[in-house]
Structure 1
């Protein structure tokens, strides 16, 4: 089972709204090589895993798949922040006029000529499970052959291609909100490249000589360099409350990226950063709560929260005990 910590896995830096950048990021969310794909692919591979002797590989897949859930949350939230631009968006400080949605302009006029109109028409200025061309995410993207070597090879290719696309998206925008998330995902994709390459090495497949793919020298991106200097490309988290993960048996030793770092799987999860809920969007009728209904919701929430005990249930005894 999974637990949700109400923190984002990485900070989203504030900047001006940018619908075009939001649409580019949709590729990294719902595209063929996006975060929804990696999340589903690794979780299905871990759920369908066979062979108790291969538990460390199953645990590695499960840990990375769980991290990808947080990446979906991060990139989806980033897209929402980039779209949150009407009617209170006042433009850049250098703009001669407050635009759009100010000075009498139509609140959602920007939806007609920037980014993806469905962000405003369907999603109320939020992310969608689609790619940058508006094509819906498809479960047919998920590869789960049941053969460990084939799955690991495919996963390495998936992380490498996803990282390549994120490097391209980085070059498409100078928006700080977009780049803060893109940079983090570039570095974590490299960590996952390292994980799958190391797993393949333990099975006699020497893919490490090819890494990192792409050879972009992504450290030329200043936001990426800060994360690489922290060694984030060489860490992998277990997201395991019980301490039963054996992924550290694989994710160890020198990094396949040949950057002089050692792989580290000793951390359960990153600290993360606080999550904030976005403001209401009155022009989108979202959430559309009148004062009386809000008061009722708050009263109900106060009663229910008073009854919540923030503890975990006791672990059920094993049937084999």
Structure 2
């Protein structure tokens, strides 16, 4: 079973909308090496795992795969914030329609100037399960050979390629919302590189000299350096509510010297950050709760609440019938 905690795994830093940055981030969400891929690949490897003696490896896959669900949530929410509203346009929920050209601009003009027009036509200013070119995410990306060493090798390559792309994404935008999310994912990809490198090392393969990939000296990105200074790249989360995970048998000891060393540790889960709900977008006709419908919802809720609070009246005892006496 999986539990959803209503906290974001990393803070969504506010900044102006940036549809071009949102579209670039789609590669990190629905691309071949994006967060949807890592989530599905690791979880399916865990679901299909065989061999009770290999439980620590299965638990490691479960922990990283579960964290990737949080990464999908984070990057999708970031994309939604980057497409959320047109600069200078607040919308008026009291007006049924906007007048084209009013005050010199149309509400959704930014949809035509950059990014992916489907963010506005199809997604109502939200994320889509596609890559940066608009290609739908495909389950054929998922690699699950059934061979532990092959799967771990492939996972290490996947994390390294994902980290490479996120370093490129960082260099594409100066938007604070985008960079905060990208930086967090760069550091966590490095932690997952460490996880799979340690797993391979425990099987007799030394990967310490090759990591991290790419060798970017990521500390030059200020947001990344802040997270590295906090040791975020040295932690792996188990997301094991019953504390039965044995991933700590693998994710332990010294990190590769090429990433600055340090002790690897496991924790149940990060504390997270407060999660909010985005404002309605009247120019997208979404979510479409008009005043009459809202009043009906409120009235129904009040009736249900009144019924729940009404005390239960005790039932009257049935009168006992006197037995008939035969004469």
Alignment TM-score > 0.5, same fold: yes
Q: Which residue of 2 aligns with 1:122?
A: 122
- Give, in angstroms, the shift of residue 103 of structure 1: 2.4
Map residues 1-321 of structure 1 onto 2, 5 A cutoff.
Answer: 1-86=1-86, 88-89=88-89, 103-256=103-256, 257-265=258-266, 267-298=267-298, 303=304
Q: Secondary structure at the match of 2:287?
A: coil
Q: Secondary structure at the match of 2:177?
A: helix
Judge conservation of contact 2:37–2:142 (CA < 8 Å) in 1.
yes
Matches of 2:190 and 2:39 in 1, distance apart?
A: 16
Judge conservation of contact 1:163–1:189 (CA < 8 Å) in 2.
yes
Matches of 2:218 and 2:226 in 1, distance apart?
A: 11
Q: Secondary structure at the match of 2:186?
A: helix
Distance change (3 Å), C-alpha of 1:290 and 1:45: same
- Give, in angstroms, the shift of residue 207 of structure 1: 1.3
Matches of 1:219 and 1:299 in 2, distance apart?
A: 55
Q: Under a length normalisation based on structure 2, what TM-score does the superposition of the two structures give?
A: 0.87
Matches of 2:102 and 2:117 in 1, distance apart?
A: 20
Q: Which residue of 2 aligns with 1:96?
A: none
Judge conservation of contact 2:16–2:87 (CA < 8 Å) in 1.
no
Matches of 2:298 and 2:212 in 1, distance apart?
A: 51
* Deviating more after overlay: 215-224 vs 108-117: 108-117
- Give, in angstroms, the shift of residue 230 of structure 1: 0.2
Q: Secondary structure at the match of 2:237?
A: coil
Judge conservation of contact 1:187–1:224 (CA < 8 Å) in 2.
yes
Q: Which residue of 2 aligns with 1:319?
A: none
- Give, in angstroms, the shift of residue 170 of structure 1: 0.2
Aligned residues between the structures: 295
Q: Which residue of 2 aligns with 1:93?
A: none
- Give, in angstroms, the shift of residue 301 of structure 1: 5.6
Residue by residue over 1:26-67, the C-alpha shift from the partner in whole angstroms, topping out at 9 and shown as x without a partner, is 000000000000000000000000000000000000000000
Alpha-carbon RMSD across the aligned residues, in angstroms, is 1.7
- Give, in angstroms, the shift of residue 109 of structure 1: 1.4
Matches of 2:45 and 2:7 in 1, distance apart?
A: 26
Q: Under a length normalisation based on structure 1, what TM-score does the superposition of the two structures give?
A: 0.89
Q: Secondary structure at the match of 1:209?
A: coil
Matches of 1:56 and 1:270 in 2, distance apart?
A: 20
Distance change (3 Å), C-alpha of 1:213 and 1:298: farther
Q: Which residue of 2 aligns with 1:315?
A: none
Instruction: Give the structure with higher Rg (CA).
Output: 2
Residue by residue over 1:143-194, the C-alpha shift from the partner in whole angstroms, topping out at 9 and shown as x without a partner, is 0000000000000000000000000000000000000000000000000000
Residue by residue over 1:254-300, the C-alpha shift from the partner in whole angstroms, topping out at 9 and shown as x without a partner, is 012441211011x1100001111000000100101111212333455
Unmatched 5+ residue regions in structure 1?
91-100, 308-321
Q: Secondary structure at the match of 1:186?
A: helix
Distance change (3 Å), C-alpha of 1:79 and 1:258: closer
Matches of 2:56 and 2:8 in 1, distance apart?
A: 27
Matches of 2:183 and 2:298 in 1, distance apart?
A: 38
Q: Secondary structure at the match of 1:236?
A: strand
Q: Secondary structure at the match of 1:86?
A: coil
Judge conservation of contact 1:87–1:283 (CA < 8 Å) in 2.
no
Judge conservation of contact 2:17–2:87 (CA < 8 Å) in 1.
no
